[in-house]
Structure 1
Amino acid sequence: MSEPSLYRTGFYALLYILASSISLFFHLLPLTSTPGSWAAPDVILCLTYVLVLRRPKLAPIGLVAIVFLVFDLFLMRPPGLMAAYVVIGAEFLRSRTRVNSELPFLVEWALAAGVIFAVLFGYRLTLLLVALDVPRLGLDLQYLIGTVVLYPMFALIVERFIPFGKIGRSGDSTGQKP
């Protein structure tokens, strides 16, 4: 890996950490004193899966695991549970990157939606099996639908503003034509 590429990758990793920190800040910001009746979409989960599918080098698995472990700790979820499911989902998507690069966007979106559903289902099932409090199903459905609906917006942002090519689209892993 060349020096400019290494610096660029590090820069985007710092941007990912900054976006995660901002998202965590808004999750922790007390806007009301009563529990909310709606669930916000998971912006960082959506961004992570877009990066894993479109720019896999910018979302190393260690960074993803650390970010979601920090989220688990700050949001008072069982430590590492959601992080483990997100990492498993990210690695599944990463393994499909080369195949997915030739498929239409709707298939990519459906694949990401299926993985987000599986992550949420596995998380809820684990909470049920160990007899912990499970959020209401309506809130989880709002969370799921909101996150899936945000996916195209993040895909467009990543495609337009991050100048790396999609792996497997044309030639080498940088997306440059030979």
Structure 2
Amino acid sequence: MVDPITTRRFLFRCLLLVLCAVIIFVQMLPLSTIPGGIPGPDLLFCLTAVWIMRRPRWAPVALIVLVHLVADILFLRPIGLWPAITLVGYEYLRRKAGGSTEISPPLELGISVATFAALVATNALLQFIFGIPQPTIGVLLLHVIMTALAYPFVIAFSHYVARVRRAKPTDLDGSGIAI
């Protein structure tokens, strides 16, 4: 018999993978053929950050890297640059939250958006160093702002629809990490 905690963890990992696949699929759809405009939010970052801040064991590193590598390949970005940068950010968020039940949503929003802004700046700096074409600073700032505006909606979706809630004190193991 498989214990219920392992089954639940596996099912939520599968759900995260499916949600990430849906986000990638929707972003690939040619919804607008007009160049320019306001950049959309990075929903992949928002979803992964929300899950890491709430239930860190439900978003393993291998799954995160796999999803971001596939996104790099499908979006024709430099392969491995964004996954490597975001992995550092996700691990920072994982350590910052630590499965804690005490982080308020506004604080979580602030930490996540600041982390995302740092990751976008690091990505832009590395692309500049390596001579890779990149968007202007104004477009990058709009991207960060749109991601910050979308983050509360992703929190609400994860909480009410996907049922990914912050761990209660009874859900913590002996080391204080959410199971």
The verdict on how the C-alpha distance between 1:131 and 1:139 changes in structure 2, with shifts beyond 3 A counting, is same
Moved more, 107-116 or 94-103: 94-103
Q: Aligned pair 1:71/2:71, yes or no?
A: yes
Question: Does the aligned pair in 1 maintain the 2:49–2:93 contact within 8 Å?
Answer: yes
Task: Give the drift of 1:137.
Answer: 2.0
- Provide Cα deviations, 1:39-96, integer angstroms capped at 9, x if missing partner: 1101111010000001111111110111011111111111010111111111011111
Residue 26 (structure 2) aligns with:
26
Question: Does the aligned pair in 2 maintain the 1:49–1:90 contact within 8 Å?
Answer: yes
The verdict on how the C-alpha distance between 1:16 and 1:172 changes in structure 2, with shifts beyond 3 A counting, is closer
Residue 56 (structure 2) aligns with:
56
Question: Does the aligned pair in 2 maintain the 1:100–1:108 contact within 8 Å?
Answer: no
Task: Give the drift of 1:99.
Answer: 8.0
Matches within 5 A, 1:28-43: 28-43=28-43
What one-letter code is carried by the residue in structure 1 that aligns with 2:63?
Answer: L
What one-letter code is carried by the residue in structure 1 that aligns with 2:71?
Answer: F
Question: Does the aligned pair in 1 maintain the 2:53–2:99 contact within 8 Å?
Answer: no
Moved more, 99-108 or 112-121: 99-108
Residue 134 (structure 1) aligns with:
134
1:127 partner SS? helix
Matches within 5 A, 1:81-96: 81-96=81-96
What one-letter code is carried by the residue in structure 2 that aligns with 1:62?
Answer: A
The verdict on how the C-alpha distance between 1:99 and 1:67 changes in structure 2, with shifts beyond 3 A counting, is closer
Question: Does the aligned pair in 2 maintain the 1:166–1:173 contact within 8 Å?
Answer: no
1:77 partner SS? coil
Unaligned runs of 5+ in 2: none
Q: How many residues align?
A: 173
Q: Aligned pair 1:173/2:139, yes or no?
A: no
Question: Does the aligned pair in 2 maintain the 1:53–1:93 contact within 8 Å?
Answer: yes
Q: CA RMSD in A?
A: 2.2
Which whole-Å CA distance do the structure 1 matches of 2:107 and 2:151 have between them?
Answer: 12
Residue 105 (structure 1) aligns with:
105
The verdict on how the C-alpha distance between 1:56 and 1:99 changes in structure 2, with shifts beyond 3 A counting, is closer
Which whole-Å CA distance do the structure 2 matches of 1:162 and 1:15 have between them?
Answer: 8
Which whole-Å CA distance do the structure 2 matches of 1:17 and 1:46 have between them?
Answer: 14
Higher RCO by CA contacts (8 Å cutoff, separation 6 or greater): 2
